Amino acid sequence: MKTRKPLPKKQNNALPLVSSPSIASLKHIALQEQRSKLPIAKGKDALIREFQEHDVTVLLGETGSGKTTQIPQYLLESGIARGGMIAVTQPRKVAATSLAIRVAAEQNVTLGTSVGYSVRFDERFSSETRIKYMTDGMIVRELMSDPLLSKYSVVIVDEAHERSLRTDLLIANLKTIQRQRNGFRDVKGKGKDKADAPNPLKIIIMSATLDAEKFGQFFSGAKILYVQGRQHPVKIYHSSQGQIDYVDAAMRTFYQIHTDYPPGDVLIFLPGQEDIESLERTIEMYAKQLPQDSLSVLICPMYAAQAAGQNSKVFLPAPPKTRKCILATNIAETSITIPGVKYVIDTGKCKEKRYLARNTGGGLDTLLTRDITQSSAMQRAGRAGREGSGHCFRLYTENAFKAMPLSAEPEIMRCSLSSSLLQLKCIGQDLEKLELMDQPAEESMKSSLIVLFLLGALNREKEITAVGRQMASFPLEPVYGRAIIASKDYDCVHEVLDIVSVLSASSKLFVESFEQRDAVSEARKKFRHVCGDHLTILNVVKAYQEIAQSEGKSDRKEWCRRHFLNERALLEASDIRDQLRQTCQRLGIDHSISCGDKEDPIIFSLGHGLAMNIALLQPDGTYKQTIGQSIVKIHPSSALCDKKTPAIIYDELVYTNQIYARGVSRIPKSFIITLGALKQQS
Ligand code: CDP
Ligand code: MG
């Protein structure tokens, strides 16, 4: 029998309201229509059933089918995630923030309420948040305060095919956490009564490539699901010969498309921010010379160092009579789908982090431009066929494609492990004993343990020390955590926080300009400090703070422009500093302690952190590492470039045709001797 719904009570003398839909609600309706047309929407009910039934699912589907944006919403709407939050992890910060913005819009809520994000040094969520997009690094960090991740009822590990170091660590931990939280239930959710597991955890692994076996094996018995994508044919062209200058070749190919091919946006894959900026400049230069009746060009850069929301124009349709030209790193390969792309130009290059371990502890972190893999090349080409047939122009030969490795090596096999090792030690885990999908090389493990021992984070028994725990509390590389802790003893916390904040910002502080090289070096002179780059940074921060106090926003901007400084880096650093100050407060470190004009305390504090990054002057004018024994040169961009000083500390080594030390300061030899003595005591 049907029950009649009671009629709503009529309000006192209220006139019937004739409401016309607002622009906001029209936008919402359009978004809902887009959602319902995604390839994944057809399988919604079946997917929900599978998620209900299984505790671990592996979901595979082509990029753009709707996995990342829709699955969390399905889980929320179906009530599967009733017990807690849904975490969706991403290897990259910029993907996490832009996805949260999109899903908040689809849910018609303000970002930070029921849909939010959390990435290093930036977060938007509240107690209301149900869907949280976060970097894999952030959730691994949360393990330190909540080892069972009890706030989350579902953890979605997205972009799992990338096998980032943090994703691998997360997957390993999720397996044990699930065993503890779900009691004896097997992966199909069968076994002991649910009552035994008051807060069960569901795990969903998502990937854009179809290679699921490894995940399936790791979570034995996991249910593997496929979403049918919508891929149109893409015509692939290889260049007849290899290109040495791929930025120039990309520019020429772009203009060939622009003049000879019908409308449709162009997506160009480049290895990193510098190449993106240089290509942006040349494309813009030639765009001015185009005939009046041709389409105009709108350039949209897209790379990891962008702040949340900074790249929103990339997702909007190109304005009339305009061709969008998106310059992206491999972030646009699978993490982010950009609508409207019909042409792809693939330089065949990407940047790869690699750690050259030495069992003496003096390993070398490198970031090198290298050839991509066949799997990446296919993903890149696929981006041209999302909405219709497309074209992909590869700036490399067909033979070069065939010579590429099939897929990338997991990051855990090629990255520095010290930061992760320390975090795991904090939760009582040993990386050596963790059940991982792939084990890291023994040499790299050993090298990282030595680094942590030399920093005082571990004792000889490989146990975490009180200093190690404090270091891990800072969302920083262990070396900088160590420098902050040392600054407490040298009474210069204020200054060291200023410097470390700038070093941790994702944008570079100093703007380079080849065209205005003389003006740049003249402007830089004002800040240059005889002790080197760290105190030069401090001079910039102090000068900017003075300007910020007395001048308005536009004058500040102009001051930065005149001095070839990137204001975004300074603003970002100021946010980072606020967060680091909070961490200090939690640890009982007074962040206002300042050493005034003294410089030695600052250098000594940094020296404690950079103890592995010390080099001594050799008779031939080069420097030799104290640990590792490599010969290094001071980078031409350094304030100490043409100075000879007996001993230096440095932030990093860059590996080109030779090894350069970057971020260099001079340090008294006597300090190095003291440091050695200190180490022997511990
Ligand atoms: O995860 P998957 O690659 O399967 O797809 P998705 O990221 O969920 O994207 C589904 C759709 O949402 C795509 O068509 C994107 O163009 C769109 N989207 C968007 O317009 N703006 C964003 N910030 C993210 C996604
Ligand atoms: Mg996705």
> Residue 308 CA: which ligand is closest?
1
Q: Which of 75, 382, 401, 431 is nearest to 239 (CA)?
A: 401
- Does residue 185 carry a pLDDT above 70? no
From atom 18 of ligand 1, which residue's Cα is the shortest distance away?
Answer: 337
Lowest mean pLDDT among 298-302, 393-397, 625-629: 625-629
Ligand 1: atom nearest CA of 334 is: 3
Question: Looking at residue 533, what is its pLDDT?
Answer: 97
User: pLDDT tens digits for 636-673?
Assistant: 889 999 889 999 999 988 877 788 999 999 999 999 98
Question: Looking at residue 642, what is its pLDDT?
Answer: 84
Helices (H), 474-532: 478-489, 493-504, 517-525
On whether the CB atoms of residues 502 and 534 are closer than 8 A, the answer is no
- pLDDT level of residue 680 (50, 70, 90 thresholds): low
Q: What is the mean pLDDT of residues 337-358?
A: 88
Question: Looking at residue 643, what is its pLDDT?
Answer: 87
CATH code of the domain made up of 441-676 = 1.20.120.1080
- pLDDT level of residue 7 (50, 70, 90 thresholds): very low
What homologous superfamily does CATH list for 234-408?
Answer: P-loop containing nucleotide triphosphate hydrolases (3.40.50.300)
Question: Looking at residue 191, what is its pLDDT?
Answer: 55
Question: Looking at residue 9, what is its pLDDT?
Answer: 45
User: pLDDT tens digits for 69-108?
Assistant: 999 999 999 999 988 999 999 999 989 999 999 999 999 9
- Does residue 209 carry a pLDDT above 90? no
CA of 90 to the centre of ligand 2 (A): 9
Task: Out of 69, 101, 205, give the residue to mutate to test ligand 1, the one with the largest number of ligand atoms within 8 Å of its CB.
Answer: 69
Question: Looking at residue 396, what is its pLDDT?
Answer: 97
- Does residue 598 carry a pLDDT above 50? yes
> Residue 31 CA: which ligand is closest?
1
CA of 318 to the centre of ligand 1 (A): 17
Ligand 1: atom nearest CA of 227 is: 4
- pLDDT level of residue 337 (50, 70, 90 thresholds): confident
From atom 15 of ligand 1, which residue's Cα is the shortest distance away?
Answer: 337
**How many residues does the structure list for the chain?**
682
On whether the CB atoms of residues 499 and 537 are closer than 8 A, the answer is yes
Lowest mean pLDDT among 206-215, 273-282, 337-346, 482-491: 206-215
Question: Looking at residue 190, what is its pLDDT?
Answer: 58
Q: What is the mean pLDDT of residues 289-302?
A: 91
Q: What is the largest CA-CA distance in the chain?
A: 98
For 428-435, which contacts have Cβ atoms below 8 Å and span 24 or more sequence positions? 430/462, 434/169, 434/172, 434/173, 435/172, 435/175, 435/176
From atom 10 of ligand 1, which residue's Cα is the shortest distance away?
Answer: 66
Instruction: Tell me the three state secondary structure of residue 624.
Output: strand
Ligand 1: atom nearest CA of 336 is: 7
CATH architecture of the domain with residue range 53-210+218-226: 3-Layer(aba) Sandwich (3.40)
Q: What is the mean pLDDT of residues 362-366?
A: 65
- CB proximity list for 372: less than 8 A, separation 6 or greater: 330, 346, 348, 349, 350, 380, 404
> Residue 90 CA: which ligand is closest?
2
Residue with the larger pLDDT of the pair 575 and 10: 575
Q: Which of 619, 603, 622 is nearest to 669 (CA)?
A: 603
Q: What is the mean pLDDT of residues 312-323?
A: 89
Domains 53-210+218-226 and 234-408 share a fold: yes
Ligand 1: atom nearest CA of 70 is: 8
> Residue 227 CA: which ligand is closest?
1
Question: Looking at residue 15, what is its pLDDT?
Answer: 46
- pLDDT level of residue 501 (50, 70, 90 thresholds): very high
Distance from C-alpha of 498 to C-alpha of 490, rounded to nearest angstrom? 15
- Buried b or exposed e, range 39-54, using 16+ CB within 10 angstroms: bbeebbeebbebbeeb
From atom 17 of ligand 1, which residue's Cα is the shortest distance away?
Answer: 337
> Residue 340 CA: which ligand is closest?
1
DSSP string covering 246-301: HHHHHHHHHHHHHHHS-S-EEEEE-SSHHHHHHHHHHHHHHHTTS-TTSPEEEEEE
- pLDDT level of residue 308 (50, 70, 90 thresholds): low
- Does residue 362 carry a pLDDT above 60? no
Lowest mean pLDDT among 17-26, 50-59, 160-169, 201-210: 17-26
Q: Where are the domains of the chain?
A: 1-37, 53-210+218-226, 234-408, 441-676
Question: Looking at residue 348, what is its pLDDT?
Answer: 97
From atom 12 of ligand 1, which residue's Cα is the shortest distance away?
Answer: 66
**Average pLDDT score over the chain:** 90
Q: What are phi and psi of 101, to 5 degrees?
A: -60, -45
Q: What is the pTM of this model?
A: 0.89
Distance from C-alpha of 483 to C-alpha of 475, rounded to nearest angstrom? 13
Ligand 1: atom nearest CA of 61 is: 4
Question: Looking at residue 13, what is its pLDDT?
Answer: 47
Ligand 1: atom nearest CA of 98 is: 23
CA of 336 to the centre of ligand 1 (A): 6
For 524-531, which contacts have Cβ atoms below 8 Å and span 24 or more sequence positions? 524/563, 524/564, 526/563, 527/563, 528/639, 529/599, 529/639, 531/599, 531/603, 531/665, 531/666
- pLDDT level of residue 363 (50, 70, 90 thresholds): low
Pocket of ligand 1 (CB under 6 A): 38, 61, 63-70, 98-99, 102, 315, 337, 339
Q: What percent of the chain has pLDDT over 90?
A: 69
Report CA dihedral (397, 401, 402, 403) to the nearest 10 degrees: 100
User: pLDDT tens digits for 18-65?
Assistant: 456 677 788 889 999 999 999 999 999 999 999 999 999 999 998 999
CA of 376 to the centre of ligand 2 (A): 15
Residue with the larger pLDDT of the pair 230 and 649: 649
Task: Out of 337, 379, 383, give the residue to mutate to test ligand 1, the one with the largest number of ligand atoms within 8 Å of its CB.
Answer: 337
Q: What percent of the chain has pLDDT over 70?
A: 92
User: pLDDT tens digits for 441-493?
Assistant: 888 898 899 999 999 999 999 999 999 999 999 999 999 999 999 999 999 99
Residue 119 parent element (H or E): strand 115-119
- pLDDT level of residue 11 (50, 70, 90 thresholds): very low
